[in-house]
Amino acid sequence: MSTLTPEWEALRVRTRDFIRTVVVPAEPGPDERLSEELRATLMAAAKEAGVFAPHVPREYGGQGVPIEHWSAIFQEAGYSPIGPIVLNCMAPDEGNMHMLSIIATDAQKQRYLAPLAAGEKRSCFAMTEPHPGAGSDPEALQTEAVRVEGGWLINGHKRFISGAEVADFAIVMARNDASDGVPAGATMLLVDMDNPGVRIGEQIYAIDRAIAGGHPHVHYENCFVADDAVLGMPGEGFRYAQVRLGPARLTHCMRWLGLARRALDIVLDRTNEREIFGHRINELGIAQDMLALSVIDIETSDAIIAKTAVLLETDPKAGSALSSIAKVHCSEAICRVIDRAIQLCGGDGVTDNLPLASYMNEVRPFRIYDGSNETHKWAISRRASSRRRREVAAGAARMDIVGGADS
């Protein structure tokens, strides 16, 4: 992990101790979800321990950790599947908090960010739509927001809106036409879930369970919101989305990497103790190879997360591009770590005797969520090809200049 200042290292240690001594023993069983009562109790304990909302500015009750130091602490939280929920740094709330802290007006921060940061409210991010609407391609956005007297009228159909069933409000991405000085594009709007124009539709049952509120369809039917519901500037939604999506991809990597470390600990304990063919499993070459590859996957993931986090602060455009690479690498590496742990634990690995199978259910969708890995690979390849063309063209131009000087 990256080098931390004494202040953030102390927070990391407190977080590690809290997760392992308070949260892990309280984890629900394989077929259970975290109850609202237990969630509230553990959140209160996290606040008392001084580890709650590490990413949130201190003025809103968080720990104020800079983004370049999030990873070490988020990984400690992610050591338990419910750890990020308890510390209030779980998706989709965490990404929404980050965006609200940067873009929202003071009034919006008081109404939405403050209670969200305190764990008193929940949120969702409504961008994905049924085909042929926005999915991996945000430009396919079909939900519309139309200017009307005093505000906006939203109509559209969203799907896979994580957390919508328990959310108090949504940040809705909607396409807008040009009007009254507003450019055509997309607009982000803050919409309370009890707005009469909001209807939660069919639930989508995915294999992951960590995010409360599922992934349902959400319908916006002549949903009116006032002008003060616009987040940022109207028509600039696609640009603002990058404020959220780059860091949100990376924090997924951080949390799930913590769970990969837990899986590795489980399999190391097992291979240190179990014997087969007269030897401890950790003495067998094939097992050593699998364990070594898992360590390599964890350490390379940690390194790319750390580099990307710094870039997101110093060069957001480059950081967003690198977050695509980090997302692909980490989501695949983390799956490999957990899969090897399952394999080395044999029959118990695929049963409820160990939590590894449930971990795989949580991390496998990450190769699809936040843009499928194939979509990210397409973008990564295009950026690499474009960069090389520019380098070749610049080199040729320099040669022309040198040649002209010599003639």
pLDDT confidence band for 3 (50 / 70 / 90): confident
Are 188 and 240 in contact by the 8 Å Cβ rule? The answer is yes
Looking at the chain, the whole-number percentage of residues with pLDDT higher than 70 is: 98
pLDDT in tens, 347-360: 999 999 999 999 99
Specify the higher pLDDT residue, 332 or 246. 332
User: CATH number of the domain at 123-234, please?
Assistant: 2.40.110.10
pLDDT confidence band for 368 (50 / 70 / 90): very high
For CATH 1.10.540.10, the residue range(s) in the chain are 6-90
- Tell me phi and psi for residue 3, to 5 degrees: -70, 130
pLDDT in tens, 146-205: 999 999 999 999 999 999 999 999 999 999 999 888 899 999 999 999 999 999 999 999
CB neighbour list of residue 294: distance below 8 Å, 6 or more residues apart: 260, 264, 267, 336, 337, 340, 341
Q: Is the pLDDT of residue 404 over 80?
A: no
Q: Is the pLDDT of residue 1 over 70?
A: no
Class for domain 6-90, per CATH? mainly alpha
For CATH 2.40.110.10, the residue range(s) in the chain are 123-234
Omega before residue 132 within 30° of 0, cis:
yes
Give the 3-state DSSP-derived string for 53-84, with helices as H, strands as E and coil as C.
CCCCCHHHCCCCCCHHHHHHHHHHHHCCCCHH
* pLDDT mean over 93-100: 96
- pLDDT value at residue 126: 97
- Could you give the residue ranges of the DSSP H alpha helices within 104-233? 106-108, 114-117
Greatest alpha-carbon pair distance for the chain in Å reads 82
Architecture of domain 239-371: Up-down Bundle (1.20)
Hey, how many other C-beta atoms are within 10 angstroms of the C-beta on 196? 10
* pLDDT mean over 211-239: 95
Q: From CA 380, how far away is CA 183, in angstroms rounded? A: 29
Q: Over the chain, what is the mean pLDDT?
A: 94
Q: Is the pLDDT of residue 30 over 80?
A: no
Are 188 and 225 in contact by the 8 Å Cβ rule? The answer is no
Specify the higher pLDDT residue, 228 or 29. 228
Q: Is the pLDDT of residue 407 over 80?
A: no
pLDDT confidence band for 406 (50 / 70 / 90): very low
Are 167 and 193 in contact by the 8 Å Cβ rule? The answer is yes
- pLDDT value at residue 403: 65
For CATH 1.20.140.10, the residue range(s) in the chain are 239-371
- pLDDT value at residue 396: 85
Q: Count CA within 13 A, CB hemisphere, residue 329.
A: 19
The angle, 0 to 180 degrees and rounded to 10, between the axes of the packed helices 237-273 and 285-314 is 150
Q: Is the pLDDT of residue 63 over 90?
A: yes
How far, rounded to the nearest angstrom, does the alpha carbon of residue 340 sit from its chain's CA centroid?
A: 24
